[in-house]
């Protein structure tokens, strides 16, 4: 186990290098503004601001973020400012920003996270930033007549690059924490005890509702077989399988999921299958409804993940505000991953000459999906996170890979 905030120990030689990098970032902000690249200017300004926060907060110019981390964060900025890679996206800088923010939050707030979870946070935050950028840019284009968002393919490649960059940054940060001499080592905490029981909801009525929804899914799958429609079969059989997961968890691991949560899973699965059967094409609003409903489940999974990490180790402590923020970021990140999966499905279909199992319908469809995913996330973060406490307790003893880092 390692303590992330220990990376901010005072070091005069390191501070000199960090201040030099910070000065370079400030100069790059001016450069980007002059050449008309406000997105890069904004990201670079945020990097410089985070770098300055540390010495200002400690009132000691010798206390800075590690110069090597700040220099790594400045590399994409320097490359872009020099015009070496004009096609590069600012998501490389976003990944670096997420990394520095994680270190600063751990050091100066009641939030506490291990390096391994910080690496996960960097991945999630980078992908979420890409999703938020897509939605915000599309809205700005529609309202102000700008042209930040290009074609659907261009937007998807931006999201793919953001995903790759986020994963790469997370992996590199985890490796850095293993080899850096600035990260203080702690003794691993014992796993938190499992709390296997979940409560809430009327199990009898919930089971009847789930059974009815499973019958609907089975009927749609039968229609797909009769039509010889492989796409519809996948979009009904997979949701049917998902509705069986709670029963499998109960049988194999003795975990009785909250009845209302089981019904939620079945409802989201059925909404998708019914949409694939007919309603996605017939009603534009139906896709938004399905995404909001499904995003609520993803949000719950994100909440359970964060809470289980907290339960697992005393070295981790999240504020209520961070949990809510993480839920929204997690849903945006999963939404980006889903859009990448849909894009890959379309690409595979184009190569093989078949029909895409997962379909996209242009830039508006992509942005609409991401926006309503966020709506579902906000609703769960604000009103329904308690339904996932039982799942978090069950996962607490099984998230060591997300907690241990730098050990």
Q: What are the pLDDT tens digits along the chain (407 aa)?
A: 455 666 777 788 889 999 999 999 999 999 999 998 888 898 899 999 999 998 998 899 999 888 888 998 898 899 888 877 666 667 777 888 888 888 888 888 888 888 888 889 999 999 999 999 899 999 999 998 888 888 999 999 989 988 999 999 999 888 888 787 666 544 444 444 444 444 445 555 667 888 898 999 999 999 999 998 888 898 899 889 988 888 887 776 666 777 777 888 888 889 989 988 888 888 888 989 998 989 988 998 899 988 888 888 777 888 889 999 999 999 999 999 999 998 999 999 889 888 788 878 899 999 999 999 999 999 988 887 887 888 888 888 777 777 664 44
HSE value, Cβ hemisphere, 13 Å, CA-based, for 229: 16
| Residue 181 shares a structural domain with residue 207 | no
| Residue 167 shares a structural domain with residue 106 | yes
Domain-located, residue 90: yes
Torsion of CA 375, 381, 387, 388, to 10 degrees: 100
How far is it, in rounded angstroms, from Cα 204 to Cα 202? Answer: 6
Position of tokens 């180790």?
A: 313
**Is the distance from CB of 329 to CB of 137 less than 8 angstroms?**
no
Task: Identify the domain containing residue 176 by its residue range.
Answer: 2-185
| Residue 210 shares a structural domain with residue 180 | no
| Residue 177 shares a structural domain with residue 239 | no
Identify the domain boundary among 185, 213, 242.
185
Position of tokens 């074609």?
A: 151
Q: How many residues does the chain have?
A: 407
Tokens of 348: 């595979």
Identify the domain boundary among 185, 218, 241.
185
| Residue 169 shares a structural domain with residue 246 | no
Please compute Rg for the chain using Cα positions: 23
| Residue 175 shares a structural domain with residue 244 | no
Domain-located, residue 164: yes
Burial 43-80 (b: 16+ CB within 10 A, else e): bbbbbbebbbbbbeeeeeebbbbbbebbbbbbebbeeb
How far is it, in rounded angstroms, from Cα 322 to Cα 20? Answer: 32
Identify the domain boundary among 185, 214, 236.
185
Please, is 183 exposed, middle or buried when counting C-beta atoms within 10 Å of its C-beta (0-12, 13-18, 19+)? Answer: buried
Q: How many CB atoms lie within 10 A of CB 109?
A: 12
In the prediction, which pLDDT does 394 show?
80
Q: How many CB atoms lie within 10 A of CB 366?
A: 25
| Residue 374 shares a structural domain with residue 335 | yes
| Residue 130 shares a structural domain with residue 259 | no
- DSSP-derived letter for residue 185 is E
Element (H, E) at 2: strand 2-3
Q: How many CB atoms lie within 10 A of CB 349?
A: 16
How far is C-alpha 82 from the chain's CA centre?
31
Please, is 223 exposed, middle or buried when counting C-beta atoms within 10 Å of its C-beta (0-12, 13-18, 19+)? Answer: middle
| Residue 43 shares a structural domain with residue 180 | yes
* Neighbouring-strand partners of residue 197: 256
Tokens of 153: 């393919």
Domain-located, residue 44: yes
| Residue 157 shares a structural domain with residue 302 | no
Q: State how many domains the chain has.
A: 2
Plot region of 406 (φ>0 → left; ψ -120 to 50 → alpha; else → beta): left
- DSSP-derived letter for residue 354 is S
Position of tokens 């490389």?
A: 92
Domain-located, residue 190: no
Burial 152-161 (b: 16+ CB within 10 A, else e): beebbbbbbb
| Residue 94 shares a structural domain with residue 215 | no
Where do the H-state alpha helices sit in 313-407? 320-352, 363-379, 389-395, 400-403
Domain-located, residue 191: no
Domain-located, residue 194: no
Domain-located, residue 198: no
Smallest Cα–Cα separation from 405: which of 125, 106, 118? 118
| Residue 228 shares a structural domain with residue 353 | yes
Domain-located, residue 228: yes
Whole-prediction pTM: 0.82
In the prediction, which pLDDT does 56 show?
93
Alpha-carbon distance values, 35 to 81, 88, 162 (Å): 9, 15, 23
How far is it, in rounded angstroms, from Cα 162 to Cα 342? Answer: 16
Q: Classify the C-alpha dihedral 169-175-176-177 as positive or negative.
A: positive
């Amino acid at each position: 186990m390692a303590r992330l905030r220990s990376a901010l120990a005072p070091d005069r030689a390191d501070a000199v290098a960090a201040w030099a990098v910070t000065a370079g970032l400030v100069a790059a902000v001016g450069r980007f503004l002059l050449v008309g690249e406000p997105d890069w200017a904004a990201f670079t300004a945020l990097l410089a601001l985070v770098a300055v926060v540390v010495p200002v907060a400690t009132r000691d110019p010798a206390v800075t973020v590690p110069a090597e981390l700040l220099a790594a964060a400045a590399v994409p900025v320097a490359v872009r400012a020099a015009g070496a890679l004009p096609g590069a996206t600012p998501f490389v800088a976003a990944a670096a920003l997420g990394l520095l923010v994680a270190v600063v939050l751990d050091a100066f707030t009641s939030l506490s996270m291990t390096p391994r979870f910080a690496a996960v946070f960097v991945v999630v935050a980078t992908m979420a930033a890409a999703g938020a950028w897509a939605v915000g840019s599309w809205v700005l284009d529609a309202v102000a007549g700008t042209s930040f968002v290009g074609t659907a393919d261009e937007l998807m490649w931006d999201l793919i690059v953001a995903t790759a960059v986020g994963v790469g940054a997370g992996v590199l940060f985890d490796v850095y924490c293993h080899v850096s001499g600035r990260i203080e080592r702690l003794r691993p905490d014992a796993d938190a005890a499992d709390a296997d029981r979940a409560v809430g909801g009327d199990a009898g009525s919930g089971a009847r509702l789930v059974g009815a929804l499973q019958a609907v899914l089975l009927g749609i799958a039968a229609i797909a077989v009769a039509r010889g429609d492989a796409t519809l079969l996948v979009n009904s059989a997979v949701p049917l399988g998902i509705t069986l997961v709670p029963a499998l968890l109960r049988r194999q691991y003795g975990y009785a999921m909250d009845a209302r949560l089981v019904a939620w899973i079945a409802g989201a699965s059925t909404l998708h299958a019914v949409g694939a059967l007919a309603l996605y094409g017939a009603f534009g609003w139906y896709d938004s409804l399905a995404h909001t409903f499904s995003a609520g489940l993803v949000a719950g999974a994100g909440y359970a993940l964060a809470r289980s990490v907290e339960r697992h180790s005393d070295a981790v402590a999240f504020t209520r505000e961070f949990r809510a923020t993480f839920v929204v970021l997690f849903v945006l990140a999963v939404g980006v991953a889903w859009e990448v999966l849909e894009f890959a499905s379309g690409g595979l279909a184009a190569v093989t000459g078949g029909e895409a199992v997962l379909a996209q319908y242009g830039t508006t469809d992509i942005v609409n999906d991401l926006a309503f995913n966020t709506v579902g996330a906000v609703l769960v973060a604000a009103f329904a996170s308690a339904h996932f406490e039982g799942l978090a307790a069950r996962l607490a003893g099984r998230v060591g890979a997300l907690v241990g880092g730098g050990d």
